[in-house]
Structures are given as structure tokens and as C-alpha cells.
Amino acid sequence: MGRLLVVANRLPFNIARKAKELHFRQSPGGLAVGLSSLPESCERLWLGWPGMTNEKLKGKEEDQIRDRLAAEGCRPVFLSRRQVEGYYQGFCNKTIWPLFHYFPRRTVYEDRFWKTYRQVNEAFCDEVMKIADKGDSIWVHDYQLMLLPKLLRERLPDSKIGFFLHIPWPSSEIFRLLPWREQILDGLLGADLIGFHTYDYVRHFLSSVSRITAMEHTLGNVSVANRVVKVDAFPMGIDYEKYSQAIGDPRVKKEAGKIRKRIGERKIILSVGRLDYSKGIIQRLEAFDLFLSQNPQYRGAVTLIMVAVPTRTGVEDYRELRNSLEQLVGRINGEYGTMGYIPVWYLYRSLPFVELTGLYNVSDVALVTPLRDGMNLVAKEYIAAKADQPGVLVVSEMTGAARELGEALVVNSCSKGAIVDAIKQALEMPPLEQLERNKIMQERLRRYSVSRWSQDFLSALSDIKKTQERMSANRLSPAIAKKLAQDYRKSRKRLLLLDYDGTLVGFKGKPADAGPDTEILALLKKLTAHPNNTVVIVSGRDRTTLEKWLGEIGAALVAEHGAWIRRDDRKWQTPLSRDTAWKESIRPILQLYTDRTPGSTVEEKDFSLVWHYRRADPEFAYVRGQELKAALVNLTENLDVGVFEGNKILEVKSRGANKGRAAEHWLARRGWDFILAAGDDYTDEEMFSALSDEAYSIKVGFSASTARFNVDSVKEIRLLLKRLSGDLNDTP
């Protein structure tokens, strides 16, 4: 079993300078705890930035840090001040963070931030490459490193690479605002497995992929060139036992007692979190203000303890937020406070674990109302810490955690009224009801702990790797390609049946509507000119287009999937009846759907009608396409035409027009000693099925096929044809 390399922006250590000496403090977040539960046999190494810029390190301190961290299974990635400013404070905190949390107006789009982000991702890649072995699994974390999976893939093509995003993936409408959206998707799709906290983020990510890259996906599997990438939800859990057992610790008990004594009989509402605008702190305080104003009976009877943890203090938005918050706290305390009563206890600092869990224990209500939050672990920790005790969680539906905490009071954090109502309901909820609600949530949190989460993610990573291996079992290997080329050379009577779009031309599934390029024309001419070869282009295109594009290369042509055939005499012939009266009843339906689906078009060929929806909204067009298909199947029941679903098209065509029958025109002639057929979509399957077992059949792409072999792309087919034509040396 290989090692696990965890790559994250930060290490699970804080390094600070105190009295001129470097101090190392462990800061085990949820991730570190999750990983510690993996079997001992799985060696782990963690790479990340140690938290101090190069400029702050003196003399041999870099080596000192390296050695000290090595003993803890960590490896530093050193960054300069300029890098941290552009990458972390810039692109991460001023671009990605606000945009992904639905704050487009706070988002800064700066080329120099993007440039540094790219450079730092490359620097991380270089560090990983210094230690990575072939069998290692690499788990990349979070929005700071979204380009890393692709960078690693280029250098470690067969490695297991997983990526987990800790923040939300926004709706594709928000994501598309990002000028570097393609590069970010491309970077992420270098992974084998991409994980998010919730299914909503998975949905948004997949729709970003299909809208922006036009790549296809089914059931969370995205087809990326030669691989399938799995996208799934893994809701991160917490170290349940640590929080549920905290109250057993005398220090925690003492802390809880101290707080209770200071607050007396008053009810305690708790708010804990980093001082970040996404956490909705101002809105929460405003709601508390409104609550006190609407419920005078609670003035003097309830205290809000607000712990705001300093974060990203180098970013202006965060400094401004602190000022606004402190002004608001002052105003509320001034308005409702009395000599013996402070409505808001405000702490601007991070508390030690004992104090934090003491607070969880003593609080009657936890108010967790972010405007957006990937998951929110505080909500889960509060419930865990309330083992066998009452306590009410009010949680925003904009958090990932709300999906798993349905028994809490779930509110819309943009509605002050809803928060006010929830505070009142929470303060007045009977203790028995509180216990009952918490019990259900506790059971869930206990089962899906952070250990389960990390194990689940890593086992899904192994699974997808196995799936990929199975899918590539029929790959046209260099050895088979060599044998194919040898057989070709030995043969005297060769038949080459070649599909056109997606096989000879086209990129990433997009048709080449501008016609063939000079390279493919020259290649086809050369192959056709050889006296031993019969080349047939077997296409779904109409005959006029085929003739215009390929009429002079000397190959035989099959148009409209076999409805038209042009052999050596250059005359088009059809095996079908010319009665196409059925079109009159079908055309209006297709036109109706085209009018109702912006971006779609109808193409009319001699023997078929095609509804194209490649340029329409993919999800909408898919639904429309299903409706249309159902309508067409009904209408064509008694006709000699069928409804066929292809790559972003629905085609109604004569049943007799199929590539298998077309191929038989040539296959029926005896004496071939070499047959090659290549194609990329469902219409080519009929051609593959018509072949004998010895024929070489090659499918471009990796979806299910009866072809004997698969290749990645058009590029690979061209390389093979070049090799056959003699343009490339016949050496593997």
C-alpha cells in the first residue's frame, strides 16, 4: 500500500516567533483528526505552508523548520511575502472566497492575483514531486489549490489524486463570473475524485462543468478525455467523542461553572466563529437587537456571548467588518444594558478548547446563522457537546450542516424576522423536546464522524481508480498498435471504414463545422491513393456537405448513416424508398420544440430530421429532449422511421439507414486481408457489429462499445493513420 500525501494550504502546526525563538504549536483541525484514524499501516505525509513568509526567517531557520516538521510527518512549502499577498490574501481571500460565498460585489478580479495563484500552485506541485512515488495517493484540499490536481496529473499520469473543497461550490451563474473559470475547472478535473460537503454543491459543480466545458456527465461521473472523474458529496463530520465527552473533563466543568456564575440565572445565547462577513455576524447581532426591542420581557434575562475569532486581518474588508461589529455591540449594550446587565459579551480572540467547550456546555442556545457556509462545524460541535443536556441549535439553511441537522431550528439567515422568531422559540422550547431533537442529531453525528468521512473519501478514491482501470482494459496499447501496423503492411487488400465527426475531426466532442483541416485531407488522400487500400468515409452528414468537403480525396462516401452511398463511379445511390411523407407530420413538432428551446435547431436531411441542442442550456434541453422523444416515439409508432438519441441530438430517420448495412456493401466483397473500422458514437456501433472477429474496430472515447479497442481522442486516431500511411516511423 502506498503512502497518503495530504496537500493543504496550511500544516497542522502553527509556527510563531517568541523571544527570538521559533515556537511550534500543534493546531489539529478536523482534518488532522480524521486522518489520525486511518490504519497505522498507511504512512501519511502532510505538505503545506508553515505560516511564516521567507522574509521572516533567518539564517538556518528554514532547515530547522524542515527538520522539526519532518519528525511530525510534515513537509513545508515555503512562500515569499509577495506570493502570500498575491495568492492567499489576493486570489484566495479577495476573489474565490467572496465569489464562492455569493458575494460577487466584494469580489476582486485581478490578473496579478491570478498569476501568483498559478505560480504558488506550481510551487506546491514542485514540492509534491520531490517526494511523490508512483503508488502514493494524493489528497489535495480546498480552494487555495484548485489548479494542483491537473498540475500533478501531468507529471504523475497514473496516480490516485483526490480533491476536497471545504467551502461551497456556487451556482454556475455565479461561478461563470470568474474570468479564469475554464482554468479552474480544468485544474480540478485533473483529480480522480472531487468531493464536496453537500449534494447541492455537487449539482452546482456538475452544471458548471456541462455549461462551461461542454463535457458530459452521468450519475456524477464526468468523462474527461481518457478518464472518468467521480464527483460526490462527503459531509465532513467532527471528532464526536472529543466534544461529547468534554464535559467529563474537570477543567471544562470548572470553566462552565465560572461562566454560569458570572451570568447568573440569565439564559445564554452563544455565537462562535471566525470574524468573516460570510458568517452573517452583523445580521445576527441586528436580529438580537430586534429581538430585545420586540420582546422587552427578555431585556435583562438573556445574554448573547459573541466570540469573534480574528481572521485575515491583512484584508481590508475584514478590518472594516471588525469596526462595524464593535460599533454595533456598543450601541446594543448602550441601549439595553443596565448597571448589572450587559446584553452582548463580546470577545475578539480565539479561545482555548477548554473554554470553548465550557461555553458550548453552558449555553442554552447556539445561534449559527452564516449567510453562506460550506459546512459549519461549530453547529455540529455544539450538538455533540450537549450529550444528555438540553440546548437548542438555531442554524442557517445556508450552511452545509443544516442538511444533516434537520431537527434543529433551521432559519433563513437573511430574514431578521425569522431569526427573531427562532430565538424566542428556542428560549421557550420545553427541555424534553430539546433533548429529543438533540438525540436524533447526536446519533447521526456520532455515526458519520470525521474518521468515517476521511475513510469514506479515500475508499471512494480507490474505487474510482479501479473503475478507470476496468474501463481502460481495452485501450489500444502500443503493442497492439504495433501489431495492427504490421498486419496492415503485410496485407494486400485493405478496407478502412472511417467515421468522420469525432473520429477524424473535432475537439472535446465539438463538431468541426468549418470542414476538414489540411492535415486530415492530406492524410486521407495519401491513404486512398495506395493501390491496396479501399477507404470509406461513413458519416451521418448530408451528401452535399460530404461531397463538398471530401468529394475529391478519392474515398468512397456514405452519407446520412447509409441512406446515401457514393462508390468509385462517384454517383450517389440510395437503398431506401424515396417516400419521405412522414416528414410532414414530424417537422412541425421539431419546430415547436425549437421555438421553445432557445439555442436548438432543426436540420433537414434527405432521409432524416435532426433536432440539435448542443448550443442550448444543457439541463433544460435535456428535459425538453426527453419530452420530445416521448412525443416522437408515439407519433412514429406506425411508420418505418425510428427515433435515435445521439450526442446532443435527437434524430428521426428511416430505419433502413444504418452504418452497419452501409458497411455490408463493402464487407460482402470477399478477399479483404485487413479491415479497420473507427468511430465514436452510437451510430458506429452498428458498423462495429457488422465486422468479423479479426477486424480491428476502434472506438474513440471510453463509453460502452462493441469495438475491440478504445483510444482517447481524434489525435490518437490521426497518429495511427499517419503511422499506416508511412508519415510516421513504425517504431512504438
Applying CB under 6 A, does 404 fall inside the site for ligand GDG?
Answer: no
Applying CB under 6 A, does 166 fall inside the site for ligand GDG?
Answer: yes
Q: Which stretch binds ligand GDG (CB under 6 A): 269-277, 406-414, 432-440, 652-660?
A: 269-277
DSSP 220: T
What residues from 20 to 59 belong to the interface with ligand GDG (CB under 6 A)?
Answer: 30
Nearer of residues 188 and 628 to ligand GDG, judged by Cβ: 188
Q: What angle do CA 387, 437, 262 make, to 5 degrees?
A: 50
Nearer of residues 356 and 392 to ligand GDG, judged by Cβ: 356
Residue that is written with C-alpha cell 416515439 in the block: 633
Applying CB under 6 A, does 377 fall inside the site for ligand GDG?
Answer: yes
Applying CB under 6 A, does 389 fall inside the site for ligand GDG?
Answer: no
Nearer of residues 211 and 242 to ligand GDG, judged by Cβ: 242
d(CA 462, CA 193): 9
Is 247:387 a contact under the CB 8 Å cutoff? yes
Q: Which stretch binds ligand GDG (CB under 6 A): 272-280, 325-333, 514-522, 680-688?
A: 272-280
| Burial label, 447 (beta-carbon count in 10 A; 0-12, 13-18, 19+) | exposed
Return the number of other C-beta atoms located less than 10 Å from residue 334's C-beta.
9
Is 203:135 a contact under the CB 8 Å cutoff? no
Applying CB under 6 A, does 356 fall inside the site for ligand GDG?
Answer: yes
Nearer of residues 167 and 426 to ligand GDG, judged by Cβ: 167
User: Contacting ligand GDG (CB under 6 A), which of 255, 364, 381, 501?
Assistant: 381
Applying CB under 6 A, does 375 fall inside the site for ligand GDG?
Answer: yes
Is 437:422 a contact under the CB 8 Å cutoff? no
Is 549:528 a contact under the CB 8 Å cutoff? no
Applying CB under 6 A, does 416 fall inside the site for ligand GDG?
Answer: no
Applying CB under 6 A, does 351 fall inside the site for ligand GDG?
Answer: yes
User: Contacting ligand GDG (CB under 6 A), which of 281, 287, 378, 527?
Assistant: 378
Nearer of residues 38 and 719 to ligand GDG, judged by Cβ: 38
Q: Closest separation between CB of residue 274 and ligand GDG, Å? A: 5
Nearer of residues 273 and 358 to ligand GDG, judged by Cβ: 273
Helix (H, G, I), strand (E, B) or coil at 391: coil
User: Contacting ligand GDG (CB under 6 A), which of 34, 50, 273, 701?
Assistant: 273
Nearer of residues 136 and 404 to ligand GDG, judged by Cβ: 404
d(CA 21, CA 24): 10
Is 690:663 a contact under the CB 8 Å cutoff? yes
Applying CB under 6 A, does 402 fall inside the site for ligand GDG?
Answer: no
Nearest-10 Cα torsion for 331, 333, 338, 342: -170
Nearer of residues 255 and 373 to ligand GDG, judged by Cβ: 373
Nearer of residues 345 and 353 to ligand GDG, judged by Cβ: 353
Residue that is written with C-alpha cell 427515433 in the block: 643
What are the contacts of 65-73 at 24+ separation with CB within 8 A? 65/15, 65/22, 68/24, 69/11, 69/13, 69/24, 72/13, 73/44, 73/45, 73/46
Q: Closest separation between CB of residue 359 and ligand GDG, Å? A: 9
Of 276, 499, 542, 681, catalytic: 499
Applying CB under 6 A, does 167 fall inside the site for ligand GDG?
Answer: yes
Is 7:47 a contact under the CB 8 Å cutoff? yes
Contacts of residue 256, Cβ cutoff 8 Å, sequence gap at least 6: 247, 358, 359, 361, 362
Comparing CA positions, the residue from 311, 314, 275, 310 lying closest to residue 81 is 314
Q: How large is the angle between the packed helices 250-263 and 353-362, nearest 10 degrees?
A: 50
Nearer of residues 142 and 685 to ligand GDG, judged by Cβ: 142
Q: Closest separation between CB of residue 89 and ligand GDG, Å? A: 16
User: Contacting ligand GDG (CB under 6 A), which of 109, 298, 348, 353?
Assistant: 353
Q: Closest separation between CB of residue 194 and ligand GDG, Å? A: 15
Largest CA-CA distance found in the chain, in angstroms, rounded: 106
User: Contacting ligand GDG (CB under 6 A), which of 77, 272, 423, 662?
Assistant: 272
Q: Closest separation between CB of residue 304 and ligand GDG, Å? A: 16
Q: Closest separation between CB of residue 613 and ligand GDG, Å? A: 37
Q: Which stretch binds ligand GDG (CB under 6 A): 267-275, 437-445, 520-528, 569-577?
A: 267-275
Applying CB under 6 A, does 373 fall inside the site for ligand GDG?
Answer: yes
Applying CB under 6 A, does 10 fall inside the site for ligand GDG?
Answer: no
> Phi and psi for 190 in degrees, rounded to 5?
-75, -15
Applying CB under 6 A, does 452 fall inside the site for ligand GDG?
Answer: no
Is 465:192 a contact under the CB 8 Å cutoff? yes
Could you confirm whether 499 is annotated as catalytic? yes
Helix (H, G, I), strand (E, B) or coil at 302: strand
d(CA 345, CA 302): 11
Q: Which stretch binds ligand GDG (CB under 6 A): 47-55, 111-119, 184-192, 349-357?
A: 349-357
Cell (9 digits) for 575: 437503398
Nearer of residues 272 and 553 to ligand GDG, judged by Cβ: 272
User: Contacting ligand GDG (CB under 6 A), which of 90, 170, 237, 374?
Assistant: 374
Comparing CA positions, the residue from 83, 278, 69, 78 lying closest to residue 166 is 278
User: Contacting ligand GDG (CB under 6 A), which of 52, 152, 174, 236?
Assistant: 236
Helix (H, G, I), strand (E, B) or coil at 26: strand
Q: Which stretch binds ligand GDG (CB under 6 A): 212-220, 367-375, 594-602, 612-620?
A: 367-375
Q: Closest separation between CB of residue 132 and ligand GDG, Å? A: 25
d(CA 127, CA 121): 10
d(CA 450, CA 452): 5
Catalytic residue numbers, as ranges: 499
Site of interaction with ligand GDG (CB under 6 A): 30, 166-167, 236, 272-274, 307, 309, 350-351, 353, 356, 373-378, 381
